[in-house]
Amino acid sequence: MKIVVCIKQVPATGADKRYTDDLRLDRSGVEAIINPLDEYAIEQALRLVDSGGADAVTYLSMGPEQAAEALRRALAMGGDDAVLVTDPALVGADEWATAVVLAAALDKLAPDIALMGMASDDARGSLVPGAVAAKRGLPLLSYGAELAITDGAARIRRLSATGFDWIEAPLPVVATVTDQVGEPRYASLKGIMAAKRKPLETWSLEDIGVDAGTLRGGALTRVTDSRPPEDKPPTERIENVAAAEAATRVADWLAARKLI
């Protein structure tokens, strides 16, 4: 039972972030971390190994060479090996291009479960998993609060409008999990030391059989402008007044905006 966890290296939450002059995300000089929501996917995969449901975990990432750091951090949490797909043609790749590349790499790795977090901190589109499943012709089990393996199938527990459902599909599948799987483990010191010795391979587009030409320069979309958000008017504050007075002032504020 082999699991591949797809992870993305993103700028640290709250770090000073900008776009470069050619309107790509400036990743230089910014502290990079594993996309926090991917850590839940890592944790879910490692829990399946702990419980004996899975026996091999590989990490897969697409990104610049620096993304190998994120893969090492993941290996420090557990898992067996990692693959980084990196290629100059992938600079500025959008979600579609990411899906094309990950799908090809996953076809080569052929796991029983391709597991991802539910969204990435920077792009927040959440489109990659579904697009990858479509490209690979596999079922998608998405937004799982829990992932379980049964005989030849995988199932996730997903919140519904009125409670929760268990959704099941025969292997192989593409799956995504939410933060409800549980707190991701910290990398232990021995884990960090062992990670340095675990295999980490680098693949180019050629290695996964993707012709750079079909990637249309790495994206079907392009950013044409970037700017800081409009200045908001400063926050109005109500403080140092009794509750009744505060309530009156808030009600006045709401009324002035026709909200009541």
Complete DSSP assignment for 83-137: EEE--GGGTT--HHHHHHHHHHHHHHH--SEEEEES--TTT----HHHHHHHHHT
Establish if 190 lies at the interface with other proteins (CB under 8 A): yes
Of residues 157 through 186, those in contact with other proteins by CB under 8 A are 159-170, 173, 178-180, 186
- Closest to other proteins by CB, 51 or 221: 221
Q: Each residue of 122-134: b (16+ CB within 10 Å) or e?
A: ebeebebbebbbe
Neighbours of 115 (CB within 10 A): 30
Q: Given the complex with other proteins, which of 45 and 187 has the nearer CB atom?
A: 187
Beta bridge partners of 70: none
The strand pair at 2-6 and 56-62 is best described as parallel
Counting contacts by CB under 8 A, is residue 47 touching other proteins? no
Q: Which stretch binds other proteins (CB under 8 A): 6-14, 41-49, 80-88, 203-211?
A: 6-14
Q: Does 131 bind other proteins (CB under 8 A)?
A: yes
Residue among 52 and 225 whose Cβ is closer to other proteins: 225
Task: Tell which phi-psi region holds residue 40, choosing left (phi > 0), alpha (psi between -120 and 50) or beta.
Answer: alpha
Interaction with other proteins in 206-235: which residues (CB under 8 A)? Answer: 216-217, 219-229, 232-233, 235
Q: Which of residues 90-109 bind other proteins (CB under 8 A)?
A: 94-96, 99-100, 103
Q: Which is nearer to other proteins, 166 or 201 (CB)?
A: 166
**To the nearest whole angstrom, how small is the minimum distance from the Cβ of residue 108 to other proteins?**
17
Nearer to other proteins, 13 or 51 (CB): 13
Q: Compute how many other C-beta atoms are within 10 angstroms of the C-beta atom of residue 104.
A: 20
How many Cβ atoms from other residues are within 10 Å of residue 193's Cβ?
A: 11
**Does residue 12 bind other proteins (CB under 8 A)?**
no
